[in-house]
């Protein structure tokens, strides 16, 4: 028995409350383990006297998630008195061992009794401690918009600064095209007809750049985008159409013209805002565009983006007030936090508390590219951008030597990171403004559609980056931020690919199985790059089968109602083919 692979901690995603009555317990083992049992009962079921020692009920754990080198065994329990004491029995063939909090004991060494080890304990199921992201998010398909490049509204005024909308041959980082908030409102029907019911906008507050991630004034909509009345109008119009709105908050750093930074530049240590930043040298004012000398901390080493001190209570109060204003006065439904892993936990905890009092179902999304468990225990972010899944999808379709089995391991690993309720609202995507566009690493649009089906059939809240529905190209910034080609869209140039995308998105909206985390993988060694899996749902007894062929032509026997297919005929799923059927 590989004892070093066995681990469990009565905390985080190994032991957590799923609901008011139910808890989830996960244990990690090597693949040599053939059976796992949990022995559990209320800790006080037999009193507190040593004369009458505690004993639990033995129950087999049957649910198992397979990773590349390990299993994650999982069970849901409903403790009658909202608390639980437990330990594990593990079997490897004829060998048996017991896992306690402080040790693993073989069956032979455990004859003296269970008191040789400390039991695990779920102390009490407190409702306020349950991870409870907004329920509406798992039913959202987001549409991400980069406002300067999405659409010019009818109120657009050319100030001489903007390039012609269709002039993209020599696009640069500094170009402005004049997209605005009214332009988004005028295209709400387009977004709704695509099947998306949530909009995530990159920053809209005053800034000197086209991307607005160097905020100059958090209290003012950038005049090139519009006014506060425009954002209120957009939110109201979107809500009438059943579309949620999420804004982008850049609180890790500000722009060089932010009032507090300007005051510090002018007054130095005498500025009341000096401690709003991380200034390390008295001669921090230099013309150097990078901060590698450490004179002050900034986003990356960008001197024009000084880092805000989110440990400072004044900064926390200021930023919290901004969010309260956006939620209360604009009526927004969510906030995405840029560079969300560098903001202090202290700040996010306080902000979470205040915003949830104001609007209990506000959605708080962190931009974090790594394992984010420390931000997702229920009192900080509701969700994060699911970069692990993004990498898994990208790698499988990029690297032809990767098998469907390896994709399963990678996806299962991603799902094993967080609580079940968190997985249901993770922000999933194929591309965004920080990545190359998805079509750039696809052989053709069929591969793009395969990836889209995979995205739409994973648990979480999927997002379409504007232009992905027409396979818009763009390998990197600034090419991945081209203006939307509305003239061509409106005359139907992209109708074929858009119809396919629209169909797939609406299948996600129609079938609860698409959203479920209950996945049964069905790949075979005969076709190593044929991705096949079954989706089950608590709300439906009819499973959905998905097959995506990223390899050579494969024979596939289908018994059931086909609800979507491409490149499939006569029981053969061709290369780059895909099929979804009920059966």
378 and 468 share a domain?
Answer: yes
Q: Is residue 137 part of a domain?
A: no
Instruction: Tell how strand 244-249 and strand 334-337 pair up.
Output: parallel
116 and 214 share a domain?
Answer: no
Per the CB < 8 A criterion, the answer to whether 395 and 413 are in contact is no
Tell me the helices (H) and strands (E) count for the chain, helix number first: 13, 26
End-to-end CA distance of the chain: 39
* Conformation bin of residue 262: beta by default, left when phi > 0, alpha when psi is -120 to 50: alpha
121 and 202 share a domain?
Answer: no
DSSP 494-505: THHHHHHHHHHH
Alpha carbons 215 and 203: distance in angstroms, whole number:
8
Residue 42's CB is within 10 A of a number of other CB atoms, namely 15
DSSP 220-268: EE-TTT--HHHHHHHHHHHHHTT-EEEEEE--SB--TT-HHHHHHHHHG
Longest dimension (CA), the chain: 88
The pLDDT of residue 156:
94
Q: Is residue 110 part of a domain?
A: yes
SS3 category, 312: coil
155 and 46 share a domain?
Answer: no
Q: How far is CA 196 from CA 137, 189, 238, 369, in A?
A: 12, 10, 11, 24
pTM over 0.75: yes
Q: Is residue 571 part of a domain?
A: yes
Alpha carbons 287 and 268: distance in angstroms, whole number:
16
Say how many domains are in the chain. Answer: 4
CATH code of the domain in which 527 resides: 2.60.40.1180
CATH code of the domain in which 299 resides: 3.90.400.10
410 and 525 share a domain?
Answer: no
402 and 472 share a domain?
Answer: yes
Q: List beta partners, residue 505.
A: none
The pLDDT of residue 500:
98
CATH code of the domain in which 43 resides: 2.60.40.10
DSSP 545-573: EEEEE-SS-EE----SEEEEEEEEETTEE
Using alpha carbons, select from 494, 409, 487, 490 the residue that is nearest to residue 448: 494
Alpha carbons 209 and 175: distance in angstroms, whole number:
9
Alpha carbons 276 and 270: distance in angstroms, whole number:
12
Alpha carbons 352 and 44: distance in angstroms, whole number:
35
Active site residue 561: no
CA–CA–CA angle 335, 337, 343 (5° rounding):
140
DSSP 373-428: GGG-SSSS-SEEB-HHHHHHHHHHHH-TT--HHHHHHHHHHHHHTS-HHHHTT-EE
SS3 category, 14: helix
Range of the domain at 527: 516-582
CATH code of the domain in which 445 resides: 3.20.20.80
Phi, psi of 114 (to 5 degrees): -70, -20
114 and 17 share a domain?
Answer: yes
156 and 242 share a domain?
Answer: yes
Using alpha carbons, select from 132, 202, 63, 154 the residue that is nearest to residue 419: 132
Q: Is residue 431 part of a domain?
A: yes
Q: Is residue 136 part of a domain?
A: no
Alpha carbons 239 and 198: distance in angstroms, whole number:
10
Last residue in a domain, options 490, 513, 536: 513
Q: Is residue 319 part of a domain?
A: no
Active site residue 367: yes
422 and 541 share a domain?
Answer: no
154 and 124 share a domain?
Answer: no
From the candidates 222, 224, 333, 367, which is the catalytic residue? 367
339 and 461 share a domain?
Answer: yes
52 and 174 share a domain?
Answer: no
Task: Identify the H or E element spanning 41.
Answer: strand 35-41
From the candidates 338, 382, 446, 500, which is the catalytic residue? 338
Q: Is residue 326 part of a domain?
A: no
Q: Is residue 177 part of a domain?
A: yes
pLDDT along the chain (583 residues), means of 10: 96 96 98 98 84 90 96 98 97 94 84 66 96 97 98 94 94 96 98 98 98 98 97 98 98 98 97 98 94 97 98 98 98 98 98 98 98 97 97 96 97 96 98 97 97 98 98 95 98 98 97 94 94 88 94 93 96 97 92
């Amino acid at each position: 028995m590989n004892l070093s692979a066995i681990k469990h901690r009565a905390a985080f995603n190994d032991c957590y409350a799923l609901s008011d009555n139910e808890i989830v317990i996960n244990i990690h083992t090597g693949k040599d383990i053939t059976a796992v049992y949990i022995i559990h009962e209320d800790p006080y079921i037999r009193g507190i006297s040593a004369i009458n020692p505690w004993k639990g009920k033995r129950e087999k754990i049957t649910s198992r998630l397979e990773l590349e080198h390990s299993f994650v065994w999982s069970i849901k329990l409903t403790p009658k008195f909202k608390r639980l004491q437990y330990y594990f029995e593990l079997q490897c063939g004829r060998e048996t061992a017991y896992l306690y909090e402080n040790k693993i004991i073989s069956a032979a060494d455990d004859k003296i009794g269970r008191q040789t080890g400390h039991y695990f304990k779920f102390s009490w199921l407190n409702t306020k401690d349950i991870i409870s992201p907004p329920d509406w998010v798992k039913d959202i398909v987001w549409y991400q918009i980069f406002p300067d490049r999405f659409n010019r509204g009818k109120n657009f005024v050319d100030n001489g600064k903007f390039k012609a909308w269709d002039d993209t041959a020599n696009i640069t980082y500094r170009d402005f095209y004049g997209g605005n908030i009214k332009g988004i409102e005028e295209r709400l029907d387009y977004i709704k007809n695509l099947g998306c019911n949530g909009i995530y906008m990159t920053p809209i507050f005053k800034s000197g750049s086209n991307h607005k991630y160097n905020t100059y004034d958090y209290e003012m909509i950038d005049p090139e985008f519009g006014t506060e009345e425009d954002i209120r109008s957009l939110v109201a119009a979107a809500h009438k159409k059943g579309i949620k709105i999420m804004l982008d908050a850049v609180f890790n750093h500000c722009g060089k013209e932010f009032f507090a930074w300007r005051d510090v530049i002018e007054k130095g240590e005498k500025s009341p805002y000096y401690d709003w930043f991380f200034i390390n040298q008295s001669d921090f004012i230099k013309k150097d565009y990078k901060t590698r000398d450490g004179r002050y901390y900034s986003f990356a080493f960008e001197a024009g983006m000084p880092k805000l001190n989110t440990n400072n209570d004044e900064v926390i109060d200021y930023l919290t007030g901004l969010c309260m204003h956006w939620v209360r006065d604009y009526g927004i439904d969510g906030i995405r936090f840029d560079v969300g892993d560098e903001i202090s936990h202290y700040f996010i905890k306080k902000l979470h508390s205040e915003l949830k009092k104001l609007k209990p179902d506000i959605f708080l999304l962190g931009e974090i590219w790594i394992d984010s468990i420390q931000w997702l225990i229920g009192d900080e972010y509701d969700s994060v951008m699911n970069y692990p899944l993004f990498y898994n999808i990208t790698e499988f379709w990029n690297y032809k030597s990767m098998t469907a089995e390896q994709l399963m391991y990678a996806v299962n690993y991603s799902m094993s990171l967080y609580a079940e309720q968190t997985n249901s609202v993770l922000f999933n995507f194929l591309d965004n403004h920080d990545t190359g566009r998805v079509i750039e690493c696809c052989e053709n649009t069929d591969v793009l559609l395969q990836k889209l089906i995979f995205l739409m059939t994973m648990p979480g809240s999927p997002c379409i980056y504007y232009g992905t529905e027409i396979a818009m190209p763009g390998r990197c910034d600034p090419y991945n931020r081209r203006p939307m080609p509305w003239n061509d869209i409106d005359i139907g140039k992209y109708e074929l690919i858009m119809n396919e995308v629209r169909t797939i998105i609406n299948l996600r909206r129609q079938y609860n199985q698409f959203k479920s985390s209950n996945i049964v993988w069905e790949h075979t060694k005969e076709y190593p790059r044929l991705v096949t899996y079954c989706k089950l749902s608590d709300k439906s007894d009819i499973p959905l089968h998905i097959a995506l062929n990223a390899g050579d032509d494969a024979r596939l026997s289908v018994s059931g109602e086909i609800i979507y297919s491409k490149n499939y005929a006569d029981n053969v799923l061709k290369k780059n083919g895909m099929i979804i059927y009920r059966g």
